[in-house]
């Protein structure tokens, strides 16, 4: 069964992708990487370039994958949850930002919606603050 990961080109996105690769290898599953953006038509070239970069990275690891650049302009949480449902995913992996003490009372709206709306388990990871390369720290 697939593992869906929401990816952004950020430390949080890198942590999510790394954790998703690890889970896919451990579970002998395949990855479905969702690159979802709201944006203008000219942003499509940047999204395509980002998808190519992710494909190059995943070609270097022993895991089956599919990269889905989503250009519909829908909301990110909806795109990730819909992809998980369409693929009958066994897990969704998302990255979370570190927050201030007050900010910890609230998750980001996309993360909160994914946690509440997903019909499968969700693994939320944060980048490890002690490393420059964004290794995943599980929480």
Per mean pLDDT, which range of 1-5, 52-56, 94-98, 132-136 is the poorest? Answer: 132-136
Q: How many residues does the chain have?
A: 139
In this predicted model, what pLDDT tens digit does every residue of 8-35 receive, in sequence order?
888 999 999 999 999 999 999 999 999 9
Give me the sheet containing 91-95, strands edge to edge. 64-70, 30-36, 3-6, 91-95, 122-127, 136-138
- Domain 3-130 sits in which CATH superfamily? HUPs (3.40.50.620)
Burial class (CB in 10 A: 0-12, 13-18, 19+), 114: buried
As a whole number of angstroms, the distance between CA 42 and CA 31 comes to: 27
For the chain, which residues make up each domain, given as ranges? 3-130
Q: What's the average model confidence in pLDDT over 48-66?
A: 93
44: tokens are: 């499509």
> What Cα–Cα distance (Å) separates residue 51 from each residue in 35, 47, 99, 123, 130?
7, 6, 28, 22, 28
How far out from the chain centre does Cα 81 lie? Answer: 11
> What Cα–Cα distance (Å) separates residue 5 from each residue in 20, 31, 100, 102, 115?
6, 7, 25, 27, 13
Angle formed at CA 100 by CA 112 and CA 76, multiple of 5 degrees: 30
Percent of the chain with pLDDT over 70: 78
């Amino acid at each position: 069964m697939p593992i869906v990961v929401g990816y952004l080109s950020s430390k949080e996105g890198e942590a999510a992708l790394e954790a998703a690769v690890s889970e896919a290898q451990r579970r002998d599953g395949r990855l479905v990487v969702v690159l979802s953006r709201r944006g203008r038509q000219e942003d499509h070239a940047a999204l395509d370039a980002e998808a190519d970069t992710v494909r190059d990275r995943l070609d270097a690891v022993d895991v089956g994958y599919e990269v889905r650049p989503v250009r519909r302009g829908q909301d990110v949480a909806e795109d990730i949850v819909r992809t998980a449902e369409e693929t009958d995913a066994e897990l969704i992996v998302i990255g979370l930002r570190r927050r201030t003490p007050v900010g910890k009372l609230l998750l980001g709206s996309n993360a909160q919606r994914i946690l509440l709306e997903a019909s499968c388990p969700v693994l939320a990871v944060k980048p490890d603050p002690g490393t420059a390369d964004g290794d995943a720290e599980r929480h």
